[in-house]
Amino acid sequence: MLFTFILTYNGFAYTRQIEAETLSGAFQDWQDTTQRIAGEPLKVGLRELLQGERLAPLKGMENVWACLFKLEGKNALLNIVKTVVAEPVKELVNIEE
């Protein structure tokens, strides 16, 4: 299964996709492999920062979770989406008003 991680922190969104059999496995891989945010090394690993935090399923949605935590004294919002890929879209899509 493919999981998309979207971390919103300090005015930016950082995205990463991880292939894993379970949400828990994907979350562990994300914590273990995300060493830098905005090009800067994390002073403390994500595993330590998120210890005791819980991923909460978003009410009224399927396969979407969120977690709010502090990262270097600032709020960080992590959203995780179980992503289904039927056929990848590789072209630029124009958004019309």
User: Over 90: is that where the pLDDT of 59 sits?
Assistant: yes
What's phi and psi for 13, nearest 5 deg?
-115, 130
> In the structure encoding, which two tokens stand for residue 65, read together?
């979770």
Q: Could you count the other beta carbons within 10 Å of the beta carbon of residue 28?
A: 14
The tally of CA atoms less than 13 A away on the side-chain side of residue 47 is 10
Q: Does a structural domain hold residue 88? A: no
Beta 2-9 vs 40-41: how paired, if at all? unpaired
Give per-residue pLDDT as tens, 3-14: 999 989 888 888
Residue 11 lies in a domain: yes
Q: What's the number of domains the chain is made of?
A: 1
Enter the pTM of the model: 0.76
Range of the domain at 17: 2-83
36 forms beta bridges with 41
In a domain, 50, yes or no: yes
Residue 52 lies in a domain: yes
